[in-house]
Chains A and B, each alone.
Chain A
Amino acid sequence: MDRDAPAVGEGTNIDDEAPRIEPTIETEAATKTDDAELERTLGLVGGLAIGIGTMIGAGIFVFPGLAAGHAGPAAAGSFAIGAVIALFVALPASELATAMPKSGGGYYFISRGLGTFAGTVVGLSLWLGLVFATAFYLVGFGYYAVDTLAELGIAVGNGLVIPLALLFGAGFTVLNVTGTENAAKLQNGIVALLLSILVCFLGFGGLDALGLVGEPATPERFAPFGAFPVLTTSALVFTSYLGFAQIATVAGEMRDPGRNLPLSMVGSVLIVGALYVVTIFVATSAFGSERLAELGETAMVEVGRHYLGSIGALAIVFGGLLATISSANASILSTSRAVYAVSRDALLPRRASRINLRYGTPHVALGLAGGPILVLVATGQVELLAEVASFLHLVMYGLICVALVSLRRDEPEWYDPDFRTPGYPVVPAVGAVASFGLIGFMQPASQVIGVAVMAVTAGWYFYYARDVTLRGAL
């Protein structure tokens, strides 16, 4: 392995490790390096399941109560704004992913398009952003677990939310280290089950909300607090759309990436966005937004009870459990992949991506995901966790759009995407402005923590990896 590194992408870090960049040939079915082939095993359905499975938990099951409290029925508009921003980023991300169908996703595009410094900051922020997102999903899971027990007649109160979340967070980490046989198939099953629960529930609730069946709904002012809270709520609920970019992190494992990557990224945003908007509409039609806000993280359970009685409540409790589990597990996996992508480029010590010979799993990277997640879960700050996760992802999304413009303007020879963003350069420009702009609508506390995390990652770059160069490397 001590061959000379290619002329592009040299330099060593403080541990004298250099980026591992080798020439590869990408085909539809495999990636070929000079000594080995990496099979591509994920199809379109697998890609969609990763995107939907990561996204569907938070938005539908945790946010309706919180969002309605902030913005009234216009919270539906907040989710729609989030979906549009996500789409403006998903298109450029798809183009970059088909040009660079490798593990690493957003980190990889930015480090190649904008250089090592931006890459380091984004790569490490992505890892920490996923840690915040996973902690948020786990706390949401805790609320649903307590509600499940309540539905089963065991009232334990909200005091157990955090202990339960911690227990399951530790459980998922251990499960991922010891190997989860057929986890992807299970994940696909969960996503399919969730979608059918939601479609039934939303179909009935939607008819009711429109006044076609049941009692006519009480009319409520659409945006009782004005337009500004709609935007701040968009910033809060944007965590709901953090799944589509995770598809790019498995680009190296996807068959026919030129077709399946754009389809699954754009498709999952559209499907999930539509579900969110309808859900908020149904939820705010069932109760006034004040009542929803009182019900908090598990308001959807009462919405289910309102439309379909205790069966509806049970279905939503069950769905909420599945959805938060699926989001949390998918995010723990993505976190360990983010750590790997950065350590392969020598921006973190190589030890971070060691694989455990017994189980074949990256135990160090999974530990670097699981440990900090548990610390954050213990804080129990739902909104803060969600916003910091959004903050760190939005920076990456904005920079993905900038990286696309940068690569297109100075198109290197290797840059040959199968999918080209329609409406260039307007779409990436709007995507970048919208992503950075949304950050401005967050709570000051989230902004301060987000900036602090990025400052620490920048500090790491200057301490550890200043001499590593990746620009233009492939």
Chain B
Amino acid sequence: MTRVLVPLTVLEGESVSPGLVRLLEPVDVTVLGYHVLPEQTPPDQARLQYGERATDALADLATAFEDGGREADYRLAFTHDRDQTIDRIAAETESRAYVITGAAGSIDRLFVALTGDVAVDRILEFVAELVGDREIDVTLFLATDAEADGRLALEEAVETLSRRGIDAESTLVVSEGPFDAVSGAPFDTLGEAAAEHDAIVVGEHAPSLQSFLLGEEPERIAAESVGPVLVVRPPARDTSSASDSS
């Protein structure tokens, strides 16, 4: 079954909203409690002092997810590097996506961004599983400089979802001139469109200059839209070469 990772800064009191718990009902959940430490603090030192407190909080959260009748477990990690921890545990648990929690009441409208170099098939499959036969409106969004290709891609995406019994609207934004990831124009339109929805699904793509300068795209979307953002992970890569990067 599809698994979703829910990372939380558990010791800082981050929690999950009831809307998100309901949205994730069709999938298994791993709650990841993490605590980021400054470099001068050994992770083990923090574990000794706070491990028990964090574990109690995580057990309660996992129970909240289990009430929906699916499987939920939790992990606790102390780290200097949040992204590395989320990546590692998402890979270990074979999670299809991870969540930036945000705030949400009832989630009735889902915004799905297909812009950029992302694995569209994986995103659509995930959306289909997540929505299932529930009454959730789906908006597919694509920003591109190649209008014809974009229109075709969106039509295919709508078709894919409707075969799984999901009606989806689509929004195409054609940016003027060459598609320029750095200028931020497509991103701004995405942010505006997304803000009208209750939750957002995006695809994770490889780190770029832009993400280095401005922060990870999903983080920025989450900051703008307030609601939860579900980040669909790319297919598992060969991780043996990624042993030493810093």
Contact A103 B80, beta carbon cutoff 8 Å: no
Looking at chain B's contact residues, is the secondary structure mostly helix, strand, loop, or mixed? mixed
A233 within 8 Å of B (CB atoms) = no
CA distance A179 to B37 in the complex (A): 9
> Which B residues are CB-close (under 8 A) to A29?
88
Taking CB as reference atom, which chain A residue is nearest B244? A43
Q: Which residues in chain A, 351-379, are within 8 Å of chain B measured between CB atoms?
A: 353-355, 359-362, 366
For the complex, what is the distance from the CA of A345 to the CA of B4, rounded to whole Å? Answer: 38
Beta-carbon contact of A360 and B41 below 8 Å: yes
Chain A residues at the B interface, C-beta cutoff of 8 Å: 1, 20, 28-31, 33, 35-39, 41-46, 102-103, 176, 179-181, 183-184, 250, 252-253, 255-256, 260, 333, 336-337, 340, 344, 353-355, 359-362, 366
Contacts A39-B43, A250-B42, A344-B48 aside, 13 further interface pairs with beta carbons under 8 A come to A31-B43, A35-B52, A35-B76, A37-B85, A39-B80, A39-B88, A42-B246, A176-B40, A333-B39, A340-B45, A360-B36, A360-B41, A362-B40
Q: Are B45 and A362 in contact (CB under 8 A)?
A: yes
Q: Which residues of B approach A to under 8 Å, CB–CB?
A: 35-52, 54-55, 75-81, 84-85, 88-89, 243-246
CB closest residue in chain A, given B245:
A43
List of 5 A-B pairs having minimum Cβ-Cβ separation, nearest first: A39-B79, A38-B43, A36-B76, A37-B77, A41-B81
- Residues of A near B246 (CB, < 8 A) are 41-43, 45-46
- Which B residues lie within 8 Å of A37 (CB)? 75-78, 85, 89
A253 touches B80 (CB 8 A): yes
Q: Which of B39, B49, B78 contacts A180 (CB 8 A)?
A: B39
Instruction: Name the residue in B35, B39, B54, B75 with the highest tally of chain A Cβ atoms < 10 Å from its Cβ.
Output: B39
Interface contact A183-B47, CB-CB below 8 Å: no
Determine whether the beta carbon of A39 is less than 8 Å from that of B81: yes
The 22 sampled A-B contact pairs (Cβ below 8 Å) are A20-B48, A33-B51, A35-B51, A37-B77, A39-B43, A39-B80, A39-B88, A43-B246, A44-B244, A102-B44, A180-B40, A181-B38, A183-B38, A253-B80, A260-B244, A336-B40, A340-B42, A354-B49, A360-B35, A360-B36, A360-B46, A366-B40
List of A residues within 8 angstroms of B55 by Cβ? 35-36
- Least Cβ distance of B78 to chain A in Å? 5
Q: Which residues does chain A contribute within 8 Å of B39, judged by CB atoms?
A: 180, 183-184, 333
In the docked arrangement, what's the CA distance between A474 and B51, Å? 19
A176: chain B residues at CB < 8 Å are: 40
